[in-house]
Structure 1
Amino acid sequence: MLLPLALAVGGCATPDTPAVPSPSFSAAEEALYLKRFELQRNAAIEGGGLPAYDPLEPVRGAERYQPLPEAEPRIARQALADAQRFAAERKSSAFLVWHDGALVKESYFGGADRDYLVNSKSLAKPLTAIIIGRAILEGHIRSLDQPVADFITEWKGDPGKSRILVRHLLDMRSGLLPQGFGSGPENVLNRAYLHPRHDEVIINEYPLVNDPGSRYEYANANSELVAPLIERATGQRYHDYVSDALLIPLGAQGGTVWVNRPGGMAHAGCCIQLPAQTWARLGILLLNDGIWKGQRLLPEGYVTKMRTSTAENPHAGLGVWIAGNYIRGRGPLHPSMDAGKTLHSEPYADRDLFLFDGNGSQVVYIVPSQGLVIVRTGDRPAKDKPWDNSYIPNKIIGSIERMPGEAMPKPQASGE
């Protein structure tokens, strides 16, 4: 879930945390930041987000793009129709179902089509975990347990930040200040999102409030730091590496990404726009343990690490959410927080399920035991038609027409 600006997030109210602005930022850069802040504040008053991302840069995809293959479903057609109707009634732009190696349902709504660029919001966060895996496989990063300070060298002498590991950025246990409320432009949460040098703000101004690895706390800063880390590790700009190392090998369509200034740093924690079939391909890659058409794109065992929780949050892995034991409401914040939770009306029909989950209930469900990937993109549903994270996957899993002797799914264990 994207919690982009301190003014507009759910969760605990944290003390207003002023930044100590870098003297290297120009007056023009500070003026642009204030302009963006005012745009966001005015939009937040109306209940919206930043009106537009500016500037955008292209994210290259495959030159010879071919849509995903299609097949007749081995899922009851009525169940697919019911799931599609549920999505359509909740401001969706796309609804896709992949099963047994083929696309068995593909629907678009409200003028969207296969080329429509989905505003990813926090669907971008699992992308950061996948691209770290690519960099590990290609030898740019040693492991998930390598110190971030090996790349963000400004942290080398810091007794706290020097102990942040790569995995801590992905599982939200870095110890960096969590997302919360902040009222003014001096707040570091706002500067870390809207400043034209937001990456430098996070590196140099953003506070550490917990020991690294000791506590789960959702913070966009964690995911945003993946962009400068990848750039320093690979020598490529973040979105160029995403293209060359991931989208092109996947045969996927590209799109656009928000950069903090012309020629500047991409926002890795949000704000990449890619078509729905590209998000489906990322889910299929994880479904197949990091292998695409016989080529290993992620280290062996990496997907298992992605979908392994920590003691600090049993429902969070590396950029993805995990079924774990059933709870009726699960949100992005610390498990003790009541705000921002999404309804799960019943246990998942298969405990093997894990998912991408972004703001507006944009989801990519992945169920390896069922050979199943489900994508729903779009806007936040209306209050009178709330999103239920269990409905679509359970409707579809329960309606798979099984072969003789085929194992039945094992439901999510009760936790309440």
Structure 2
Amino acid sequence: MTLWTRTAHFILPLAMAIGGCTIKTEVGAAAPLGSAASTGAADEALYMQRYEAQQKAAIAGGGLPAYDPLEPVRGASPYQPLPEGPARINASALQKAEQFARERNSSAFLVWHDGALVQESYFGEADRDYLINAKSLAKPLTAIIVGRAIQQGHIKSLDQPVADFITEWKSDPGKSKILIRHLLDMRSGLLPQGFGGGPENVLNRAYLHPRHDEVIINEYPLVNEPGSRYEYANANSELVAPVIERATGQRYHDYVSDALLIPIGAQGGTVWVNRPGGVAHAGCCIQLPGQTWARLGILLLNDGIWESERLLPDGYVNAMRTPTKENPHAGMGVWIAGDYVKGRGPLHPSMEAGKTLHSEPYADKDLFLFDGNGSQVVYIVPSQRLIIVRTGDRPPKDKPWDNSYIPNLVINAIKRGPDEPQPVPQKGK
């Protein structure tokens, strides 16, 4: 197998992918390095090849050339597409929303309303089977799969210590306090995301190393008391893979297939594993078609129930979309409306970098969303029975993404009956 298998749409920027942006700021000191003696000379050599490939791509203005190796993520077979139906949404509004997406480097744009797919558009080389590079859309998937593991009895609760699974942390006075929920709501206290710097920096090792899971477990520093501060870090989501593997006895992506994708009738795809037969990247790097992301949104819209079967614990979706006092706009893997803020990003609320435009308050305060690098979004509005999916590359500089434009356009264009509830707008400031 060659080191890099070129796959055009499996791209990740040099700086670590975070939410809807890429940040290049130095944060914290690097953790003590693992050595060739501790991780193996061959692993260290492969890590350096990956690091150098990333550096060359950065000089050319791109990201990591490809993910290698990839392994399959099984889906439902045969696949039955989401049902289509007549739209109760003004056609001109759907056209405007599609045009907005089309002009901003989108690959897919889907609108599902009240049980049926009412808009499905693909751009460029994309089609219904096109594997979308999820980037940080993978993070809400980690929260959903933890919910499945709780429902199936593999994990006791959100308040179970991570050290029950990552037993290397049992005797660590700080990391032993990290709870499962802290990985999902980014309050673990682990080093926040930032620019990786040189090859010795733990942020690069935690991303590119062929034993990245071991790097995070053994090298990644704790910089805050668990539960005390919100800080965006890929390491939180990446740790979900070894937790799931140790809790279930299955490899992460096999459990995602068997416990989630197949039960909801979703298409599968591929995922980057750190080495052949190794551990999947859970915080990024899974590739799934657009309808699969729509189905995940529908599952949450229906409170974790799929076709009368409860897949997530009762109350779990509400827990996902409940903010912490450390970040009023972040839940577990999802972003919530809260009070209106014009610029919002994935980093600590006090930081000005990486903000995404919200030109006006959301038309319905019930909205919550998946939000990944490149402004890849899944809007979920339970009160309106509405799901909107937009995937693709980062919009051009002259046409920035506006996170409230499309959902507001569509919500306000729904043709409601006399007994249907009107949307209640997000509280403005």
Q: Same fold (TM over 0.5)?
A: yes
Structure 2 residue aligned with 1:97: 111
Structure 2 residue aligned with 1:345: 359
Structure 1 residue aligned with 2:81: 67
CA displacement, residues 187-246 of structure 1 (integer Å, 9 cap, x when unaligned): 000000000000000000000000000000000000000000000000000000000000
Structure 1 residue aligned with 2:317: 303
Q: 1:381-400 to 2 correspondence within 5 Å?
A: 381-400=395-414
Q: Judge conservation of contact 1:144–1:166 (CA < 8 Å) in 2.
A: yes
Moved more, 194-203 or 397-406: 397-406
Q: Judge conservation of contact 2:14–2:54 (CA < 8 Å) in 1.
A: no
For residue 274 of structure 1, the aligned residue among 288, 294, 298 is 288
C-alpha separation between the residues in 2 aligned to 1:3 and 1:9? 7
In the alignment of these two chains, the number of paired residues is: 414
Structure 2 residue aligned with 1:358: 372
C-alpha separation between the residues in 2 aligned to 1:408 and 1:367? 12
Partner secondary structure for residue 263 of structure 1: coil
Q: 1:32-47 to 2 correspondence within 5 Å?
A: 32-47=46-61
Q: 1:48-197 to 2 correspondence within 5 Å?
A: 48-197=62-211
Structure 2 residue aligned with 1:24: 38
For residue 248 of structure 2, the aligned residue among 222, 226, 234 is 234
Q: Judge conservation of contact 1:16–1:183 (CA < 8 Å) in 2.
A: no
The alpha carbon displacement at 1:44 in A equals: 2.0
Decide whether aligned partners of structure 1 residues 320 and 52 sit closer, same or farther in structure 2, where only a CA change above 3 A counts: same
**Residues 1:294 and 2:308 are matched in the alignment:** yes
Q: Partner letter of residue 126 of structure 1?
A: P
The alpha carbon displacement at 1:11 in A equals: 5.8
Structure 1 residue aligned with 2:336: 322
The alpha carbon displacement at 1:55 in A equals: 0.2
Q: Partner letter of residue 186 of structure 1?
A: E
Q: Judge conservation of contact 1:9–1:179 (CA < 8 Å) in 2.
A: no
Structure 2 residue aligned with 1:202: 216
C-alpha separation between the residues in 2 aligned to 1:338 and 1:33? 32
C-alpha separation between the residues in 2 aligned to 1:123 and 1:281? 13
Q: Partner letter of residue 284 of structure 2?
A: C
C-alpha separation between the residues in 2 aligned to 1:158 and 1:3? 33
Partner secondary structure for residue 58 of structure 1: strand
Q: Partner letter of residue 318 of structure 1?
A: M
C-alpha separation between the residues in 1 aligned to 2:101 and 2:265? 27
Q: Judge conservation of contact 1:11–1:338 (CA < 8 Å) in 2.
A: no
Partner secondary structure for residue 39 of structure 2: coil
**Residues 1:213 and 2:227 are matched in the alignment:** yes
CA displacement, residues 72-93 of structure 1 (integer Å, 9 cap, x when unaligned): 1000000000000000000000
Decide whether aligned partners of structure 1 residues 6 and 276 sit closer, same or farther in structure 2, where only a CA change above 3 A counts: closer
For residue 381 of structure 2, the aligned residue among 355, 358, 367 is 367
The alpha carbon displacement at 1:20 in A equals: 2.1
**Residues 1:283 and 2:281 are matched in the alignment:** no
C-alpha separation between the residues in 2 aligned to 1:210 and 1:71? 50
Decide whether aligned partners of structure 1 residues 39 and 183 sit closer, same or farther in structure 2, where only a CA change above 3 A counts: same
CA displacement, residues 235-267 of structure 1 (integer Å, 9 cap, x when unaligned): 000000000000000111000000000000000
C-alpha separation between the residues in 2 aligned to 1:116 and 1:103? 18
C-alpha separation between the residues in 2 aligned to 1:342 and 1:294? 37
C-alpha separation between the residues in 2 aligned to 1:6 and 1:120? 14
C-alpha separation between the residues in 2 aligned to 1:127 and 1:225? 13
Unaligned ranges ≥5, structure 1: none
CA displacement, residues 396-415 of structure 1 (integer Å, 9 cap, x when unaligned): 00000110132210000013
Please give the TM-score of this superposition, normalised by the length of structure 1. 0.97
Unaligned ranges ≥5, structure 2: 1-11
Q: Partner letter of residue 337 of structure 1?
A: M
C-alpha separation between the residues in 2 aligned to 1:177 and 1:3? 20
C-alpha separation between the residues in 2 aligned to 1:347 and 1:4? 32
C-alpha separation between the residues in 1 aligned to 2:340 and 2:24? 21
Q: Partner letter of residue 273 of structure 2?
A: V
The alpha carbon displacement at 1:183 in A equals: 1.7
Q: Partner letter of residue 34 of structure 2?
A: P
C-alpha separation between the residues in 2 aligned to 1:246 and 1:372? 21
**Residues 1:10 and 2:30 are matched in the alignment:** no
The alpha carbon displacement at 1:390 in A equals: 0.4
C-alpha separation between the residues in 2 aligned to 1:340 and 1:270? 18
The alpha carbon displacement at 1:46 in A equals: 2.8
C-alpha separation between the residues in 2 aligned to 1:179 and 1:91? 26
Q: Partner letter of residue 201 of structure 2?
A: N
Structure 1 residue aligned with 2:8: none
Partner secondary structure for residue 24 of structure 1: helix
Q: Judge conservation of contact 2:74–2:268 (CA < 8 Å) in 1.
A: yes
Partner secondary structure for residue 84 of structure 2: coil
C-alpha separation between the residues in 1 aligned to 2:225 and 2:31? 21
The alpha carbon displacement at 1:336 in A equals: 0.6
Q: Judge conservation of contact 1:29–1:196 (CA < 8 Å) in 2.
A: yes
Q: Partner letter of residue 102 of structure 1?
A: A
Q: Judge conservation of contact 1:6–1:183 (CA < 8 Å) in 2.
A: no
Decide whether aligned partners of structure 1 residues 52 and 134 sit closer, same or farther in structure 2, where only a CA change above 3 A counts: same
Q: Partner letter of residue 346 of structure 2?
A: P
Decide whether aligned partners of structure 1 residues 338 and 46 sit closer, same or farther in structure 2, where only a CA change above 3 A counts: farther
